[in-house]
Amino acid sequence: MAKTAETYHVPVLLNESINGLDIKPDGIYVDVTFGGGGHSREILRHLGPNGHLYSFDQDADAEQNIVNDDRFTFVRSNFRYLCNWMRYYGIDHIDGLLADLGVSSHHFDDETRGFSFRFDAPLDMRMNKRAGTTAADILNNYTESQLADIFYLYGEMKSARRIAAAIVKARAAHPIVTTSDLTTVIEPLMRSEREKKDMARLYQALRIEVNHEMDALRDMLLGATRMLGKGGRLSVITYHSLEDRLVKNVMKAGNVEGKIEQDFFGRITSPFRLVNNKVITPCDEELQNNPRSRSAKLRIAEKTE
């Protein structure tokens, strides 16, 4: 079944994230997570004839949702190359950047991509199907120690070493190539009351490693810090604690480590001012209409220099 822009992905915290950009009609804006185009279309509604929007997505499936508008440019690339592409288009500063870091509903619901343990499918998980290592490659080739580190760091799983050992033992007899292969190996290690949550954490960890998500996010956030002009806004929606921590650190301190720097008088010298001191989460109505928004957190900051 073909996905329309409306069914590809329901945009989360749409009004809150767009309002947070404080859009200037003639400004230059970037949506680094185009997906179904929901956020991009809303940004375009706020732009005048002289404004422009650049939207990034590395997934070929997202290209079916491209907007036909002279004020819109689609960039077929990972958002970590933000600065490179802005230079390519002759842009030296932007007025706002939006990132919805969640995986599109399309990816979870596509039975062929291996993003969800609900379907028996090849363990792929690549956002860019044209290149890169698959989840199956990782499960069959990484060392036990490497697998344990991934599950612990990216899935925050206490049983990471036990699961890694079981995978290495199982793959010696038969390669792990499908979601059902993986389930057969790890299901006996999980408590029934936590099985779905732990499986989701495991799949999250694999997806992050396959797509180098944390490295890409670091590069994008630092690139956005350089590209945003004074008064420019950064509006970012996160879905798990690892990415939220990075976003919070950059917005508070201007670096991914969260290291606070002070001037001679002890004043914090961050390039950003927090627009919302308290994180924004979906309202009850949105949670009811879109349960997948339940873990979303929106942070907004303004460039001060």
Confirm if 127 and 115 have CB atoms less than 8 A apart: no
For 146, residues 6+ apart whose C-beta sits below 8 A from its C-beta are none
Q: What is the pLDDT of residue 8?
A: 58
* Separation of CA 10 from chain center: 15
Answer yes or no: is pLDDT of 1 > 50.
no
- Percentage of the chain surpassing pLDDT 90? 73
Q: What is the rounded distance in angstroms from the CA atom of residue 231 to the CA atom of residue 221?
A: 16
Q: Which has more pLDDT, 268 or 48? A: 48
What mean pLDDT do residues 132-139 have?
93
Q: What is the pLDDT of residue 194?
A: 82
Answer yes or no: is pLDDT of 106 > 50.
no
Q: What is the pLDDT of residue 60?
A: 80
SS3 137: helix
Q: In which residue are the tokens 């059902």 written?
A: 180
SS3 115: coil
Q: In which residue are the tokens 């606070």 written?
A: 260
- Within 13 Å, how many C-alpha atoms sit on residue 74's CB side? 19
Answer yes or no: is pLDDT of 132 > 90.
no
pLDDT band with cut points at 50, 70 and 90 for residue 129: confident
Answer yes or no: is pLDDT of 227 > 90.
yes
SS3 270: coil
Q: What is the rounded distance in angstroms from the CA atom of residue 303 to the CA atom of residue 305?
A: 6
For 211, residues 6+ apart whose C-beta sits below 8 A from its C-beta are 125, 126, 127, 128, 132
What average pLDDT does the chain have? 90
Q: What is the pLDDT of residues 113-122, one digit of tens each?
A: 555 656 788 9
Model pTM?
0.89
What mean pLDDT do residues 235-248 have?
95
Q: What is the pLDDT of residues 55-98, one digit of tens each?
A: 999 988 888 889 999 999 999 999 999 999 999 999 999 999 99
End-to-end C-alpha distance for the chain, whole angstroms:
48
Q: In which residue are the tokens 């004074």 written?
A: 230
